[in-house]
């Protein structure tokens, strides 16, 4: 008998000869094209995490607030009074480069479905964006398309986009990153999971009709880009936010009717992943009747139906006696719901089309037993320690560097982006972007709020992946602390190049080790996340970019803190400044290369963070708070002046021989506090053994570094706001 599966077909499905031999052993026969396609998406890097699974298992995933860690659609944490927060971050990198508007839009839609699939109403979205060099001919259009896609989708569904980050670097010229995070609110007794149960229970398809968009999307996301990548536009999903809104409201209504046994979003790998994953978790089998799948295109075949990644679709298992209620609710919302299958006790997926059995596959091996690789790794030569060159800096040069930083793509105001997002819809946004270190969202009809943030410094991660990842976690933790929150847990999105290359695999392993260490030290576990690999083109990989999304609880709205300043308040620096300038924004703008990221002393990190949190939560002596990160004290103070349109006099630089080390160093574990009671603050700080320094006072029209230089607040505002305006006009 002639073989159906050729080497060419295996290559088209991104399946290695070793993996194909595994498939033959599992099947006991040669698969047909449909069955091979199903293996290809379920065993893709995007769906199976086959290169990282071994290392992801080492991450801490629990504390006393975690209800559900990795393994479900999203992570869940307890915030008290029967309330829980469900959250996750996902990537839509490859699709967004090929088709920026739809790629970004459907990334937002997909992550929101992960959240409301579990019974939560989304209450906030964030995003973490990486673009190439602004001078690159593609960057401007990619930026416009991605931002518009994110804004349009979130605005149409009516979920506020409240924060995020945007970073430019030439390594992302041909591999932009679009990481989307969504946060939802649910009652603890109303959480839904994707565990199929009950032989004979009907399987219901609801939402948009299936089309040919997105076929092999998961496979595409598991391979490097080539010159032909832009021809893959048909593999990019097309979104409809209005259908998403209907799906959201109908599913949440249905969840209050004691109807649903299990529910799963049809995301990556579409009908395939949703059906296999639910069945595997419930140790059952499935019969699917593919001729019943609603299709919007003519003559679609089973292969296309199973691999399509058409958006705005759900798969659910319902109680058979509740069919009438189910159809009634979906009809009310104008959605088509169709019974396309049933649960069995076979532990197999049987696929029927026009009464013919067209495929049969064992469920567990596909869902749970994908290949797990311990890929070889080696330390990149670039990580050999190099000392940064020291330069003598004049006062005028210091001033010029600060102005340059404020007007640079990475540190200028992102208001052009944020203004396209509706951050106030739903009426519970307390702080959005540029108002505080993290976004703050009120829990409706309560006195509490959550604080949410995303963070990563790829420059640090390039120089030292482990330490860079530690810093990303610690920075997110400080961001939450600065708003008055108790940090609880994180979600991560690990963006790297090709894991089959030893040096890239080294970066991945080290970054995970860094996340592990930081999360363990801070009692700040990983409850959900995503891995996005093969972010490289023609052998050129992106900077290692392990993005961290953090969530914390503000127990009382009265605790919340942002960038507020009052005239004549005192400005204090909390934490030790050791003068670390290697890899700093300051050095980058002076073209000083080499060196390593600053180290994280977790004892100091915890002590300083807990002290700041205690001041915010238990006293009234703090007006505002800002953590210190990129750009050091100088940039943090400038941002406070800009946010308040108010000046300050900084008086701790007199007789300092190297003021740049004080102003621009990026040592960790530090905060700027705006204090209204000097005596009380200093007494509390001394009692707790906290390193602090009074550095100035609020007031005036200048950011005045006495004995060094000063800049008018007016100029700060103008300087900080002009880059995007000039770039996009």
Tally the residues of the chain.
729
R_g of the chain computed on alpha carbons: 26
Instruction: Provide DSSP, 294-362.
Output: -BSSTT--HHHHHH---SSEEEEEE-GGGHHHHHHHHHHTT--EEEEEEEESSSEEEEEETTEEEEEEE
The two structure tokens encoding residue 526: 């990983």
Dist CA 335 CA 333 (whole Å): 6
Burial class (CB in 10 A: 0-12, 13-18, 19+), 147: buried
Tell me the helices (H) and strands (E) count for the chain, helix number first.
25, 28
Dist CA 667 CA 499 (whole Å): 31
Check if the beta carbon of residue 267 is closer than 8 Å to that of residue 217.
Answer: no
Active site amino acids: 46, 92
Check if the beta carbon of residue 534 is closer than 8 Å to that of residue 221.
Answer: yes
Check if the beta carbon of residue 214 is closer than 8 Å to that of residue 235.
Answer: yes
CA nearest to 105, candidates 413, 315, 335, 312: 312
Instruction: Provide DSSP, 103-126.
Output: HHHHHHHHHHHHHHTTTPEEEEEE
* b/e burial code for range 322-359 (CB count within 10 A of at least 16 → b): beeebbebbeebebebbbbbbbbebebbbbbbeeeebb
Dist CA 118 CA 546 (whole Å): 25
Instruction: State the residue for tokens 């509490």.
Output: 448
Dist CA 470 CA 528 (whole Å): 17
Dist CA 86 CA 76 (whole Å): 4
CA nearest to 33, candidates 217, 295, 244, 302: 302
Burial class (CB in 10 A: 0-12, 13-18, 19+), 246: buried
The two structure tokens encoding residue 459: 């420059």
Instruction: Provide DSSP, 7-47.
Output: HHHHHHTT--HHHHHHHHHHHSS---HHHHHHHHHHTSHHH
350 phi and psi angles, rounded to 5 deg: -105, 125
DSSP 8-state symbol, 58:
T
Check if the beta carbon of residue 64 is closer than 8 Å to that of residue 142.
Answer: no
Dist CA 595 CA 574 (whole Å): 25
DSSP 8-state symbol, 652:
S
Instruction: State the residue for tokens 């140790």.
Output: 283
Give SS3 for 263: strand
Dist CA 122 CA 87 (whole Å): 9
434 Rama class: left (phi>0) / alpha (psi -120 to 50) / beta: left
């Amino acid at each position: 008998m002639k073989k159906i599966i050729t080497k060419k077909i295996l290559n088209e499905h991104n399946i290695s000869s070793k993996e194909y031999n595994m498939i033959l052993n599992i099947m006991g026969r040669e698969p047909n094209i449909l069955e091979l396609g199903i293996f290809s998406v379920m065993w893709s890097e995007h769906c199976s995490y086959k290169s990282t699974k071994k290392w992801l298992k080492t991450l801490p995933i629990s504390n006393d607030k975690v209800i559900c860690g990795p393994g479900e659609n999203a992570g869940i944490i307890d915030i008290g009074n029967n309330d829980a927060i469900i959250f996750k971050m996902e990537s839509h990198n490859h699709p967004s480069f090929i088709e920026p508007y739809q790629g970004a839009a459907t990334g937002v839609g997909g992550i929101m479905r992960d959240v409301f699939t579990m019974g939560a109403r989304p209450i906030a979205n964030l995003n973490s964006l990486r673009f190439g060099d602004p001078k690159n001919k593609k960057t401007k259009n990619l930026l416009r398309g991605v931002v518009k896609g994110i804004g349009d989708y979130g605005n149409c569904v009516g979920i506020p986009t409240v924060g995020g980050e945007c970073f430019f670097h030439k390594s992302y010229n041909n591999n932009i990153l679009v990481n989307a995070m969504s946060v939802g609110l649910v009652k603890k007794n109303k959480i839904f999971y994707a565990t199929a149960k009950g032989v004979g229970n009907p399987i219901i398809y609801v939402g948009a009709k299936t089309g040919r968009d997105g076929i092999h999307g998961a496979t595409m996301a598991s391979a490097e880009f080539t010159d032909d990548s832009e021809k893959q536009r048909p593999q990019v999903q097309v979104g409809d936010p209005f259908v998403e809104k209907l799906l959201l409201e109908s599913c949440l209504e249905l969840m209050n009717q004691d109807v649903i046994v299990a529910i799963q979003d049809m995301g990556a790998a579409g009908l395939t992943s949703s059906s296999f994953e639910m069945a595997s978790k419930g140790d059952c089998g499935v019969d699917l009747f593919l001729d019943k799948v609603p299709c919007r295109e003519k003559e679609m075949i089973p292969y296309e139906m199973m691999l399509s990644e058409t958006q705005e679709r759900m798969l659910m298992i319902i109680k058979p006696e509740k069919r009438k209620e189910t159809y009634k609710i979906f009809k009310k919302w104008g959605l088509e719901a169709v019974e396309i299958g049933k649960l069995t006790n076979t532990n197999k997926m049987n696929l029927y089309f026009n009464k013919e059995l067209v495929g049969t596959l064992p469920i567990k091996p596909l869902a749970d037993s994908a290949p797990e690789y311990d890929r070889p790794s080696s330390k990149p030569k670039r990580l050999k320690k190099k000392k940064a060159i020291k330069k003598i800096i004049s006062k005028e040069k210091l001033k010029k560097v600060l102005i340059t930083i404020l007007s640079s793509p990475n540190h200028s105001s992102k208001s052009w982006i944020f203004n396209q997002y509706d951050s106030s819809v739903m009426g519970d946004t307390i702080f959005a972007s540029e108002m505080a270190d993290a976004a703050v969202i009120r829990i409706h009809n309560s006195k509490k709020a959550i604080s949410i943030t995303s963070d990563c410094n790829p420059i640090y991660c390039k120089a030292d992946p482990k330490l860079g990842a530690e810093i990303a976690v610690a920075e997110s933790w400080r961001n939450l602390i600065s708003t008055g929150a108790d940090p609880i847990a994180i979600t991560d999105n690990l963006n790297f190049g090709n894991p089959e290359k030893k040096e890239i695999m080294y970066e991945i392993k080290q970054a995970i080790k860094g996340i592990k260490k930081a999360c363990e030290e801070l009692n700040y576990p990983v409850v959900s996340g995503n891995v996005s690999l093969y972010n490289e083109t023609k052998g050129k990989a992106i900077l290692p970019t392990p993005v961290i999304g953090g969530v914390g609880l503000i127990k009382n709205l009265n605790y919340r803190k942002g960038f507020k300043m009052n005239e004549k308040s005192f400005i204090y620096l909390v934490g030790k400044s050791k003068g670390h300038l290697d890899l700093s924004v300051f050095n980058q703008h002076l073209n000083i290369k080499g060196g390593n990221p600053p180290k994280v002393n977790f004892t100091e990190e915890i002590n300083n963070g807990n002290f700041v949190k205690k001041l915010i939560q238990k006293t009234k002596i703090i007006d505002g708070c800002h953590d210190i990160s990129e750009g050091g004290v100088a940039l943090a103070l400038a941002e406070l002046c800009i946010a308040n349109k108010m000046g300050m006099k900084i008086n701790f630089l007199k007789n300092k021989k190297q003021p740049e080390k004080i102003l621009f160093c990026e040592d960790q574990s530090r905060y700027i506090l705006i204090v209204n009671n000097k005596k009380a603050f200093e007494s509390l700080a001394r009692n707790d053994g906290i390193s602090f320094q009074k550095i100035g006072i609020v007031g005036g029209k200048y950011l005045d570094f006495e004995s060094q230089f000063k800049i008018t607040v007016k100029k700060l505002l103008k300087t900080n706001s002009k880059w995007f305006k000039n770039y996009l006009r």
